[in-house]
Amino acid sequence: MSFVIRKLVEESLEAMEAGEFQDSCLEFLPLWDDRFRGLSRLGHTAAGKTRAGTPDLLLTRPDSSQIGVQCGTEESYWKPTEDVTKWKPYLDANKCIRALKNLFEVVVIANRKISTNKPNTKAGLIGLLEDKTVAAVTPLAREDISQYISSTLHTPPTKRLIKKYFPDAFQVFASEEEAQRLGLGRSISSERPVDARTLIALIDQAFESFGHTERLKEYVVGQLVRCA
């Protein structure tokens, strides 16, 4: 099922316009790594529309160093160009490098996939920028986003993310989770007498805390034993 959800997430990503993708990155990146907590969006107007600006997302760290994020949505974003200085990821990263005075890291993230026959794309971008900055360069593509989401589906923050930005994927996930809830309830109630309301409440608590079926049942049964 996670494969289906991953494909639906990827389809939704590619359908996003620039502003929506920036918003999704603003919420995705702090889940992907804690170092991105505190990012704010620069590339938008008061009405939420995108506008020219660099970087799209910015975080100023307590030591005054900066993390800049450039978000790309062009269909051919990762496609190499004959002149590497006109390659979109390179251009975006360079803009960020020139704009920020105390750069700690530049992130180039796009809602497009890197071709499977171009495995050196990320390494190539990092290499091209070695003489431009001492900051870390982090390229992220569509598959990085979808892989993270599909591998953390049962965590509350990821649930909130897919519900907000990937409604088709969330619908499939919610159906799967509901079936899992019913199966868990039947399994436990067949093994021991239990009040239905208590069981439902404990199952809800378990799903808020754990992402694996064995932990779900272990938690619910443990709570029932304590309350007996």
CATH of residue 46's domain is: 3.40.1350
pLDDT digits (tens, 9 = 90+) for 58-90: 999 999 999 999 999 999 999 999 999 999 999
Percentage of the chain beyond pLDDT 90 is 67
Parent domain of 205: 173-227
Domain membership of residue 158 (yes or no) is: no
In a shared domain, residues 197 and 133: no
E strand or H helix that includes residue 210:
none
Neighbours of 67 (CB within 10 A): 25
In a shared domain, residues 12 and 115: yes
Q: What Å distances lie between residue 56 and 26, 116, 144, 163, CA to CA? A: 10, 27, 19, 23
On the question of pLDDT at 131 being above 70, the answer is: yes
Q: Grade residue 156 by pLDDT with cuts at 50, 70 and 90.
A: confident
Structure tokens, 203: 């199952």
**Residue 94 near residue 124 (C-beta atoms within 8 A):** no
Cα–Cα distance, 136 to 129 (Å, whole number): 10
The contacts of residue 43 (CB under 8 Å, 6+ apart) are: 18, 22, 50, 51, 52, 53, 54, 55, 56, 57, 71
> In the chain, how many domains are there?
2
For 40-54, 68-82, 88-102, 190-204, which range has the lowest pLDDT when averaged over its residues?
Answer: 40-54
Report the phi/psi class of residue 155: left, alpha or beta, with left for phi > 0 and alpha for psi in -120 to 50: beta
Global pTM? 0.82
**Residue 130 near residue 94 (C-beta atoms within 8 A):** no
In a shared domain, residues 29 and 110: yes
In a shared domain, residues 190 and 121: no
